[in-house]
Amino acid sequence: MELHFEELLGKITDFIKSEAKTETVVGEQFELGEFKCVPVIKVGLGFGSGGGEGAEPKKGKGQGMGAGAGMGIEPIGFLVTKDDEISFLEAGKAHGLSAAFEKVPDLIEKLAENRRKDKEAEMA
């Protein structure tokens, strides 16, 4: 078995280059009415490798190698343009009406608690 470490590194690097793209995760730039939206991603990479050579007299010739890579890709938001204005909208953050709907359960719980306290006060 021959060690082709450089070839293996090249293949792993090519794979990472082909996959770590915005288009792979969230798609390409698009238009929504008069707004142009460009997706933005965050990419994290990890890489490890090892190799070896040597020979043991009783066991014969020895070689070994290994390599691995890991990649995490996450959409983080959109660059939004209209005419000459540019803004950034974060993905995963609640804005406007959706933020209000996220608070509805807490609001209902507080209203129920206040109503319970009012009934207890009337009975006392």
Give per-residue pLDDT as tens, 12-48. 778 777 777 766 666 678 888 888 888 888 888 787 7
CA neighbor of 46 nearest in space, from 19, 68, 70, 15 = 70
Q: State yes or no: pLDDT of 61 exceeds 70.
A: yes
Q: Would you state the structure tokens that stand for residue 88, as one six-digit string? A: 């950034």
Q: Specify the pTM.
A: 0.45
Report d(CA 114, CA 77) in Å as an integer: 39
